[in-house]
Structure 1
């Protein structure tokens, strides 16, 4: 990777790594996981745009994530609709 591109995308790389860490942590706290969750470093290196691959997961894991999202949305509606 060229030095200019490396410097220009440093914050994007940090942000991508941080969001993957945050998502992994939040899912773990909710009793769920995405085993293939990762940053697509190669795509980012080639384009300067870092994508987050959510990957493959068992149906049971995705159902747990859907359940957590629904609960979060219900909570958010109750909290912000007042």
Structure 2
């Protein structure tokens, strides 16, 4: 049964790995490194739903993430509200 689930969820595994890689890259461009990001492969293997654990981070890093998100939202509003 698990091999069937494995075949069915192959695209999901690739997708979650890709999005985590993108997140790490974007955060790095913004000067942020969250050292504990990981994919819960076991949960996905059992359920077909892959979860991303963002892990622990220092307050300084989280403030930077919030700052980047706010700037991105401001840019998005300026770009798409016109």
* Interval containing the TM-score (normalised by the shorter chain): over 0.9
* Deviation sequence 1:39-68 (CA, Å, 0-9, x none): 100111111110011111000000000000
Mapped to 2, the partners of 1:16 and 1:71 lie a distance apart of 25
Q: How many residues align?
A: 82
SS in 1 for 2:39: strand
List aligned pairs for 1:1-82, cutoff 5 A. Answer: 2-82=2-82
Query: How high is the TM-score relative to the length of structure 1?
Result: 0.95
- The answer for unaligned runs of 5 or more in structure 1 is none
Would you say the 8 A contact 2:12–2:50 is kept in 1? yes
Partner Cα distance (2:52, 2:11) in 1: 15
Aligned CA-pair RMSD: 1.0
TM-score (norm 2): 0.95
Q: Give structure 2 stretches of 5+ with no counterpart.
A: none
**TM superposition shift of 1:33:** 1.7
Cα distance in structure 2, aligned partners of 1:18 and 1:24: 10
Ranges of 4+ aligned residues in structure 1 off by more than 3 Å: none
Distance 1:4 1:60 in 2: 43
